[in-house]
Amino acid sequence: MTKVSGLLLIDKPEGWTSHDVVAKTRNLASTRRVGHAGTLDPMATGLLVLGLNSATKLLTFLVGESKTYLTTIRLGASTITDDRESEFLELASPEALATVGRDSIIQAMAALSGEIMQVPSSVSAIKINGERAYAKVRGGDEVKLAARPVTVSRFEMLGEPREVAAAGNRFIDFDAIIDCSSGTYIRALARDLGRALGVGGHLTALRRTRVGAYQITAATELSKLDPNSLPVLSSTDAARAQFACRELSASEVTDLRHGKRLIVGRIDFGERSDAIAGFGPDGELVAMLETSGKQLKSLVVFVEEAE
């Protein structure tokens, strides 16, 4: 019997870690070979892309894809974790908050758009001397991370800013949609936006709605997964949706399976990723490829798995 392989698009609920979702999926799919293409914080909801069995080999090519988020940013306070999950570091005075309006927010958002240098949140999963930054922060250590280049291709306000009261304090909340490169920290955008406005900022909600070509509309809620009928997107369909495509002849498939290189030939990039997926005469995914001069070489070759 052939094991089910492919991508599983999950709508992660709040309060679950990405590891929790992977562990549950391993039980539902009766396999240890489950991975994900990028974590979501427990507070965040939305699209988590999982790979099952041989499709875990695709995840390497997905982690660097761009993403879309819907978020609520609260202006008026900074927090240790740059979100609502920790205590305040500083609170803005009512006078300072009164100077913040829609136009000033949009102007500050524009300065955080495009190609920017971003210092990741101190509670990120980045490793420092082999230890995760968030573990060091929670252990009481001061963490300073280096700025790194990221691209924020869209940072757009949705609706109007609104004044809110919480825990005896007043804040300004607004919703936003963000398209960004992999490695962008949305919490850091909220932090830096609040800092630029002089009032502090943090996230109160975060939802991922897109990873590469995959949309939240195609995802399934974790609680609705049926172990007898998992809504798996085949590796072939997943690759055709996301990657540049190279059609292979039967002889080229044989050559790839024997480790040989091919001439580059015609590759359909379209609007998709620069990663290249090779498909056999039967239309099935055979390999992930890369160019090397005028040749194509295989990075991963897929074979059928049997129990």
User: What pairs with residue 208 in β-bridges?
Assistant: 46, 69
Angle between helices 102-111 and 186-197 (to 10 degrees): 120
Assessment of whether the complete model's pTM goes beyond 0.85: yes
Q: Rounded CA gap, 63 and 46, in Å?
A: 16
Backbone angles phi, psi at 210, to 5 degrees: -155, 140
Domain 67-211 and domain 234-307 have a common topology: no
pLDDT at position 275: 85
Buried b (16+ CB within 10 A) or exposed e, 186-214: bbbbbbbbbebbebbbbbbbbbbbbbbbb
The architecture of the domain spanning 234-307 is: Roll (2.30)
Q: Are 263 and 292 in contact (CB under 8 A)?
A: no
Three-state SS sequence of 72-86: EEEECEEECCCECCC
Domain residue limits, the chain:
67-211, 234-307
Instruction: Please state whether beta strands 201-211 and 67-75 pair in parallel, antiparallel, or not at all (unpaired).
Output: antiparallel
First-to-last CA distance in the chain?
Answer: 6
Number of residues that this document lists for the chain? 307
Only one residue has tokens 């939802």, namely 207
Active site residues: 41
- What is the chain's pLDDT, residue by residue, as a tens digit (307 residues)? 457 899 999 999 999 999 999 999 999 999 999 999 989 999 999 999 999 999 999 999 999 999 999 999 999 999 988 999 888 999 999 999 999 999 999 999 999 999 999 998 876 555 445 554 444 445 545 557 789 999 999 999 999 999 999 888 999 999 999 999 999 999 999 999 999 999 999 999 999 999 999 999 999 999 999 988 999 999 999 999 999 999 999 999 999 999 999 999 888 887 777 789 999 999 999 999 999 888 999 999 997 544 4
CATH 3.30.1490.190 describes domain 67-211 = no
Q: Give the C-alpha separation, 257 to 259, whole Å.
A: 5
